[in-house]
Amino acid sequence: MTSFLPAAVQPAARELLMTPARRIILLLGVPLSLTLLAWTCFAIISQASQGSYAVSYAPVRVNGGLDMNIYGGDVTLQGSVASAARFTGSGTVWYGLNYSGQRPTLVTAQTPTGTRINFTCPNYNCALNSTVDVPPQAPVTVTSNGGNITATGISDATLQTGGGNLTVDGLTGNVSLNTDSTPNGPYGGGGQVDGTLAAQNVAVDTGGNSVDLQLTAAPSNLNITSEGGDVTLQLPAGYSYDVDNIKEPLSQVQMTGPAPPPAITVTTSSSSRYRITVNADGGAVTID
């Protein structure tokens, strides 16, 4: 219906009064909205900026042993390097960093047993591929959550990949090699272990994958668990070995049938000081 009242007497539009409650809503809502917008933009940029970048950290002096934890990525360990008392610097340590959003964090601490280096990945979205020159005679413990580890010329090493492969060359002393992604789990899922060793005491667990090792010195104790993976060992000639090839459990026989007979061509003696224990759980075993 058309109004014939003069404009001056028509009802005015109702004004929005700024009550205390509305002021509080504006005061809190605007910053919150801006914060959510900023985080959304950051997430988009982080995902779009993935790539491979070089990065360096301040030098780290190693006192005693080296204990290094890597969230993800491959690690190359180089031992017997006389100038390797420090990390980073000319021609050494960290390189090939893959990250998005934030660069990884490197935290160091001195413990009673040596120097600890902990690499953490912000938002679980990066991987560090690194080369580390290990000081001579420094015991080494490295844990990589899924990356591959390559180790050369190290004495007394404990290496765990969490599912990656492990390649060794000339390791001595006491050596523990573990590629099992689920240690003590029923389904395995580890990487393979291969290379050469001159160690006296060796423990290997692959969580279902293969082992292919050449021993350049007769080991005092060599204990291998492959959980179904094939095991191939080459031992130095001229020695006799106390070989214990553990049979697979009955349940394994029922599921897959008996394992093929082991091919053992080395000289064996139950009184030998060199003890070889293999638990392949159905995998083929070759010892020569």
- pLDDT, position 228: 86
- pLDDT, position 220: 97
How deeply is 126 buried, as exposed, middle or buried, from its count of CB atoms within 10 A (0-12, 13-18, 19+)?
Answer: buried
- pLDDT, position 190: 85
- pLDDT, position 113: 82
- pLDDT, position 74: 84
Numbers of helices and strands, H then E, in the chain: 2, 21
- pLDDT, position 275: 97
Write the DSSP symbol of residue 124: G
- pLDDT, position 77: 87
- pLDDT, position 258: 65
* Contact residues for 44 (Cβ-Cβ < 8 A; gap 6+): none
Helix (H, G, I), strand (E, B) or coil at 130: strand
Write the DSSP symbol of residue 228: T
For the segment 85-95, what is each residue's pLDDT rounded down to a tens digit? Answer: 444 433 334 44
* pTM of the predicted structure, to 2 decimals: 0.74
For the segment 37-50, what is each residue's pLDDT rounded down to a tens digit? Answer: 555 544 444 444 44
- pLDDT, position 182: 65
- pLDDT, position 202: 97
Contact 205, 160 (CB under 8 A): no
Residues of the chain where predicted confidence (pLDDT) is lower than 70: 1-60, 80-103, 122-126, 182-188, 247-259
- pLDDT, position 257: 59
Half-sphere exposure of 94 (CA within 13 A, CB side): 23
- pLDDT, position 134: 77
For the segment 226-250, what is each residue's pLDDT rounded down to a tens digit? Answer: 988 999 999 999 999 999 987 655 5
What are the boundaries of each domain within the chain? 56-287
- pLDDT, position 271: 95
For the segment 155-189, what is each residue's pLDDT rounded down to a tens digit? Answer: 899 999 988 999 999 999 999 999 988 655 444 57
